Amino acid sequence: MRDTVAGKLTILITILLIAIFGGAAILNLYIQERAATRILRLNGAQIADMVVGATRSAMLLNDRDEIQRTIDTLAKQRDIERIRVIEKGGLIAYSTDRAEVGTMLDTMDEQCIACHQKTHPPESLPTSERARVLTRDGERILGITQTIKNETDCSNAACHVHPPEETLLGVLDVNLAMAPHDLARRESAIEILVASLVGIFLVIGATIWTVHRLVHRPVRKLIKETKRIASGDLSARVPEVSNDELGVLAKTFNLMARDLETAREELLEWGRTLEQRVAKKTRELDHAQDQILQAEKMASLGKLAAVVAHEINNPLASVVTYAKIVVRRLKKQDYLNVECVENLAYLESIASEATRCGEIVSQLLAFARRKPGQFSQIDVNSLVDKALFLVNHKIKLANIATESNLSETQPEIVGDPSQIQQALMALLINACQAMADGGEISLTTRPTTDGVEIEIRDNGPGMTAEVAQHAFEPFYTTKEQGSGVGLGLSVVYGIVERHGGRVDLDTAPGDGCRFTLFFPNLPPQGADEEVKS
């Protein structure tokens, strides 16, 4: 207990309580003794007055036998040890102890010294000075003296021998036994001592309980929670149950714990955010690397496509032209034999296939084209609406629902409206072809800090990760043979790339496709020769 605040406080309070209760008990006993002695003296004085009154008639008649019988009778009362009448000169005239009748008292005796040592007359002595405590045979005796005055009735009596001038006739001495009083005093002292001890123990117990509840428990709880915080558990809290110093300490502790917990959460959140940012930047770098690789691949393919398209475009045009000329000449003949009819069919097939090859060459030229476009200020929302209008017949034939979410605060950008419209139409046509049995297409435009995003989303079958990886490569297609050559998304990629933007594809099998086209506010330097306002 000496090592704790509550223990030290309990020990100190216990010592103080013992001292206070002990002192209070001693003071109480002293005051009680004084009060009891005062009451006993007053009782003794009343008994003495009663004896004087009882013997007054006999004294007026000078009936000595009656006086003796009266004091003998009174002496039989409880606690009266002795009664005697002493004349003025010190002669014992009457006494319940017959052996001392007629003897003289010394003026220095206990019952005489009170009067003979005082300057004022004995009849004026207060009760406290007319009482004395004697010890006789080991027991305490209270002696009370009462003066016997020469009253008018006494001095006028026929039998009286004292002249009126003599005011004091003698002294009545009454001795009372103090044994009952001492017994009661001891019993009272024991009761007071027991009550004091009980009070001390009760107060000490209450003090211990109070100190334990108000000091020890809060301090131990504070120490426990402090150790929890020291071990890293910042969720530790102390109950705030009071408004005293310990309550303020608990509130301050909890505030500190909350601040520490908040600071740790902020650090952890900052760490998580840093990890997320690193991961995001890593993904962006990977995406940028993929974009660079894709751009390099597309540039190489574009150069190859331009060379191939240039080399075969003229021969294909000649084949188509000559085939059509021969077909027209054959159709002008009035009669064609079976062989000529077959040759006509062959020539028409040659013209058709050569025309299809010409279309493929045109798409190759469109993909490989790097010449500047007609750049101007354009409204992206208007381009989206126009592209949707141009492919509306395909959308209706495929029973596809459309939804437009065009930003009301859409800014204008600088770009080639025809090329951007071509890219949007290619994506819409791809979506229609992917949802031949119906579906839904949503178009969304939203401004960014440095440009605009156009999102085209469908709920078609979607693509696998392997297909999505090659989606923008020329001649890569998953369509049936004869329904496409795989240049549509490549053309979209080239248009967006020439505008300095990017195209992102988010898809999964069964989740449809979401193409997000980003166009900057201004194209890269050198992308256009003239910007029209």
Return the HEC string of 445-480: EEECCCEEEEEEEECCCCCCHHHHHCCCCCCCCCCC
- For residue 271, give Cα distances in angstroms to 139, 268, 277: 95, 5, 10
pLDDT category, 443, cuts 50, 70, 90? Answer: very high
Q: Nearest Cα to 455, choosing from 408, 502, 488? A: 502
Q: What is the mean pLDDT of residues 475-491?
A: 57
Nearest to residue 207, comparing CAs of 3, 1, 5, 11?
A: 11
- Identify the weakest region by mean pLDDT among 138-152, 292-306, 475-489: 475-489
Q: Quote the pLDDT of residue 518.
A: 92
Q: How far apart are CA 114 and CA 445, in angstroms?
A: 126
Quick one: tokens of 302?
């574009």
Examine the pLDDT at 517 and tell me if it is beyond 80.
yes
**Predicted TM-score (pTM) of this structure:** 0.39
Q: Which fold has domain 371-533?
A: Heat Shock Protein 90 (3.30.565)
Q: What is the mean pLDDT of residues 422-451?
A: 88
Mean pLDDT confidence for 421-432: 87
**253 pLDDT exceeds 80?**
no
Tokens of 29: 């006993």
Residue 354 or 505, more confident: 505
Q: Residues 447, 410: contact at Cβ < 8 Å?
A: yes
| Tokens found for residue 351 | 């013209």
Whole-angstrom Cα distance, residue 96 to residue 79?
14
Is residue 201 over pLDDT 50? Answer: yes
Which three-class secondary structure state does DSSP give residue 440? strand
User: What pLDDT is recorded for position 444?
Assistant: 92
Instruction: Judge whether residue 455 has pLDDT over 90.
Output: yes
Closest CA to 440 of 461, 459, 454: 459
CA atoms lying within 13 Å on the CB side of residue 235: 0
Strand 451-458, strand 513-520: pairing? antiparallel
Residue that wins the pLDDT comparison between 298 and 351: 351
Residue 397 has pLDDT above 60, yes or no: yes
Tell me the pLDDT band of 144, cut-offs 50, 70 and 90.
Answer: confident
Those residues whose C-beta lies under 8 Å from the C-beta of residue 259, and which sit 6 or more positions away, are none
CATH number for the domain running over 5-185? 3.30.450.20
What integer pLDDT is reported at residue 98 of this predicted model? 82
At residue 238, the pLDDT reads 73
> Is the model more confident about 244 or about 492?
492
CA neighbor of 80 nearest in space, from 141, 165, 146, 17: 141
In the predicted model, is pLDDT for residue 37 greater than 90? Answer: no
CA–CA separation, 211 and 188 (whole Å): 33
Percentage with pLDDT > 70 across the chain: 78
Beta bridge partners of 400: 439
| pLDDT band at 252; cut points 50, 70, 90 | confident
* pLDDT greater than 80 at residue 310: no
The mean-pLDDT minimum among 37-41, 269-273, 443-447 falls in 37-41
Q: What is the CA radius of gyration of the chain?
A: 66
Q: Please give the residue that has the higher pLDDT: either 95 or 530.
A: 95
Beta strands of 208-292 (E only): which ranges?
none
Say how many C-beta atoms besides its own lie within 10 A of residue 85's C-beta: 24
Q: What are the tens digits of pLDDT across the range 98-120?
A: 888 888 876 666 656 555 555 54
Phi, psi of 135 (to 5 degrees): -120, 120
pLDDT band at 191 (very low <50, low <70, confident <90, very high): confident
Domain ranges of the chain: 5-185, 371-533
- pLDDT tens digits, 342-366: 888 888 888 877 776 776 666 666 6
For position 481, what pLDDT does the model report? 46
Instruction: Tell me which of 321-330, 379-388, 497-506 is least confident.
Output: 321-330
What whole-number distance in Å separates Cα of residue 201 and Cα of residue 191?
Answer: 15
In degrees, to the nearest 5, what angle opens at C-alpha 142 toward C-alphas 166 and 147? 10
Mean per-residue pLDDT over the chain, rounded:
77
- Three-state SS at 372: coil
- Can you tell me the distance from the alpha carbon of 87 to that of 352, in angstroms, rounded to the nearest whole number? 176
Cα 439 to chain centroid, rounded: 53
- pLDDT tens column, 42-88: 877 777 778 877 877 777 777 778 878 888 888 787 678 788 888 77
